[in-house]
A and B are shown apart, each in its own frame.
Chain A
Amino acid sequence: MSGQTFEPSKPEPPLYYTSKHSSTRRRMNNFEYREINNGDGRRFNREAEEEEDDEEDDEGNGRGLDAWERAYADDRSWEALQEDESGLLRPIDNKTLYHAQYRRRLRSLSSSSTGSRIQKGLIRYLYIVVDLSRAAAEMDFKPSRMVVVAKQIEAFIREFFDQNPLSQIGLVTIKDGVAQCLTDLGGSPESHVKALMGKLECSGDSSLQNALDLVHDYLCQIPSYGHREVLFLYSALSTCDPGDIMETIQKCKKSKIRCSVIGLSAEIFICKYLCQETGGSYSIALDESHLKDLVLEHAPPPPAIAEFAIANLIKMGFPQRAAEGVISICSCHKEAKVGGGYTCPRCKARVCELPTECRICGLTLVSSPHLARSFHHLFPITPFDDVSPSTLSKNPHHKLPKNCFGCQQSLCDPGNKPCPCVVCPKCKQHFCLDCDIYIHESLHNCPGCESFSQSQSVGGSMEE
């Protein structure tokens, strides 16, 4: 049943680091789009959904589809309608609504973050435990619980590494009462996603204790500055354990392992107790979109673990990537390899993947773009101020520029009346609403501030 809609050999998702496949992927969609006429609509749906997930920043890509072209997950089309005063049904005006929502969110974010700076980017070591007992085959989530869970975990893993660059994830599955380590702790999203997608079968009972024991052993080996966390995605309503689970829970509590559970069926006491004892959170997903929200809540570092933090300066190296086609022997697999690979800046040994520890000199090696992904949290860009037409008419010598500084789009509507726009408080450049959202949600740079050398220090005014 589930194998029908889910294919493990699907076109590879966009790699974390490269988007070489962008053109291929867009084309794939078009290809599938044609195929829908042949009655194979389901494949198209999957592609379209993926596109939407991937391009959350890229507002509007998925929404450009007409209602009948959209996926079954979105089939509550009536919710996009609204009754107006005369009783006629109208589509909700998304754009202004969206912009208003976004402004509100931005304001609440900036007001809360100005007081206490940052505290982001803690180094976390997280095990995701996926329950693949027979309860995971239930079809209350379509097409089945485990397919939905796998899809959400994939999205979560990408988001997690975006927000926690130096953190690591490991995957554990529970099947037939036995916990099994699917992937070791690691920083590469691709390998986790691939391993999980290849192992989607379920059977037998679930065992909370076995999973906790396994994860506990692994997490006790990590460095002291790291935070130990476990996230269960639990489908079953019971646990089948070999011993006293209360002891195991106390053991985890003592080792400062924060356990959280997201249930897919109903609340169970033992899960609730586990979360309470270890300082985690417990929630039950009502439907797929709720599940998505619940899972993604675990992507930003939880504030509670900040006090466990032992602040430390960690010595790290930023290796250079070797030219394609160069042959060398790597220190990790002790094999001669062609191309790729990174060179340790201290001892010049070759390693295959980042992040890792140099086998020769022990230096922690990371890729610097990995770190740079979180810099926008450290140096957030100030919210822009609204320029409403009314303030303009009051203040005649405040002259509005003709075009948006970012995209050159005219800031006047066809009737030559000024449109709503925003102004950067630092460089005083005006931007259209689309650019405003893009700049704050995805770009994290003000094009105006970056375009004037007097303010060149603004982007880098980090430590003064």
Chain B
Amino acid sequence: MLVCLCNCTDDVSLLMVLLDTNPFFWSTSKSTSLSFSNFLSHVLAFLNSVLLLNQFNQVVVIATGFNTCDYVYDSSSSPTNQRAETLLRKFEEFVVKDEQLSKEDTVDGIGNSLLSGSLSMALCCILKSNSNDIQRVFRSGSLHPQPRILCLHGSPDGPGQYVAVMNAIFSAQRSMVPIDSCVLGVQHSAFLQQASYITGGVYLKPQQLDGLFQYLSTVFGTDLHSRRFLQLPKPVGVDFRASCFCHKNTIDMGYICSVCLSIFCKHHKKCSTCGSVFGQAQTNAPSTSNQKRKTPDT
């Protein structure tokens, strides 16, 4: 039974799109079969279709660069007849700025883009629009844009961003903002798998990147209300591995400080985060030792 439970006439979306612009990812033909300009044309068509679905829909684009992140487009403050021009102009400025900030010319491998930064910015932006809209909803009873975040991401995860990305995910979960992710690289992203799983978003790694627009419009184009009636892609498992604090390695088994819960990949004598001195590593839970060790003040 398809009954709309709210008293709105239509569902309004606020879509935050995070575009990965890491130049090292896009210039490596091994990492993706799609060229950056092709990618952009798919995305532009998708953004246009979202804006055409409902006149109140709002789209904000944030570029996730290698050295910096920035807002490149906001549909509420740009003239409707020159969407593509505005976006591309700002985009070019951003890419130039990102390049200037780069210090080294060579990076080993593809490098990571600053997912934690763009996620944090998107959440701040959603918070602001949320607090304004709440007022409006109860006054007029109609407009209530449902915010969601879409990450179009290709670069591999940066284990150094682990804590920041997790913080952002939990904040999104608390504010009930789903994070959708569309992974363009060869490998699955553990960060985005967890983000989508925890916030109730959709995680997708398209098989055929030349059909990107179709994936985007069928899976990520629909508003949250309509999603309930769709058969969206089911998660193919979630990679729950963590990063150790000592070497920033991704690990599936490790040691945890019982005082502060820091994660280490091997046994240490002393916790580097809280300074507690440890006894024997405890492989099996119940231990009979009753001796007490006071934790030194640091």
Contact = CB atoms under 8 A, between A and B. Distances in A.
Given A447-B117, A451-B114, A66 B138 contact: yes
Interface of A: 14, 17-28, 30-31, 33-34, 55, 57-61, 64-66, 69, 116-123, 165-166, 221-225, 306-325, 342, 345-346, 357, 362-364, 366-369, 371-379, 404-409, 432, 434-435, 438-439, 442-447, 450-454, 456-457, 459-460, 462-463
Contacts of B6: 26-27, 30-31
B128 A224 contact: no
B261 A451 contact: no
A23 B225 contact: yes
A316 B124 contact: no
B293 interface: yes
A33 B5 CA distance: 11
Given A306-B295, A323-B234, A368-B241, 13 more contacts: A59-B131, A308-B292, A311-B259, A314-B258, A318-B251, A364-B285, A369-B198, A371-B261, A372-B167, A372-B170, A407-B128, A435-B124, A459-B163
Contacts of A444: 167, 171
B258 A311 contact: yes
Nearest to A25: B176
Nearest to A33: B7
A420 to B, nearest CB: 16
B175 interface: yes
A368 B198 CA distance: 12
Contact of A325 (B118, B167, B234, B256): B234
Given A309-B259, A368-B242, A23 B224 contact: yes
Contact of B285 (A311, A322, A357): A357
A457 B160 CA distance: 7
16 contacts: A17-B173, A58-B174, A66-B138, A312-B287, A313-B281, A316-B255, A321-B235, A357-B285, A368-B240, A375-B163, A404-B124, A407-B127, A439-B124, A442-B175, A453-B67, A463-B273
B86 interface: no
A317 B285 CA distance: 13
Contacts of B216: none
A322 B276 CA distance: 35
Interface string B270-295: 01111111110111111111111111
Contact of A22 (B161, B176, B239, B292): B176
Contacts of A31: 5-7
B68 A442 contact: no
Contacts of B260: 118-121, 377-378
Given A312-B282, A320-B252, A225 B258 contact: yes
Question: Number of contact residues on B: which range applies?
Answer: 35 or more
Contact of B287 (A223, A438, A459): A223
A213 B197 CA distance: 41
B174 A121 contact: no
Contacts of A453: 66-68, 101, 114
A117 B253 contact: no
B181 interface: no
Interface in B122-144: 123-125, 127-128, 130-131, 134-135, 137-138, 144
Contacts of B273: 117-118, 378, 462-463
B215 interface: no
B282 A460 contact: no
Contacts of B103: 454
B189 interface: no
A124 to B, nearest CB: 11
Contact of B199 (A19, A122, A367, A457): A19
A30 B7 contact: yes
Nearest to B227: A23
A119 to B, nearest CB: 7
Contacts of B135: 64
Given A312-B279, A378-B273, A373 B170 contact: yes
Nearest to A34: B7
A225 to B, nearest CB: 5
Nearest to A439: B124
A378 B262 contact: yes
Contacts of A66: 138
A315 B258 CA distance: 10
A60 B131 contact: yes
B281 A324 contact: no
A307 B297 CA distance: 12
A22 B224 contact: yes
Contacts of A318: 240-242, 251-254
Contact of A438 (B124, B160, B258): B124
B140 to A, nearest CB: 12
Given A224-B288, A224-B290, A318-B241, A451 B199 contact: no
B225 A316 contact: no
Contacts of B123: 438, 443
B209 interface: no
B172 to A, nearest CB: 8
Contact of A316 (B117, B131, B254, B289): B254
Nearest to A456: B160
Contacts of A457: 160
Contacts of B246: 463
B195 to A, nearest CB: 10
A224 to B, nearest CB: 5
Given A459-B116, A460-B248, A313 B125 contact: no
B82 to A, nearest CB: 19
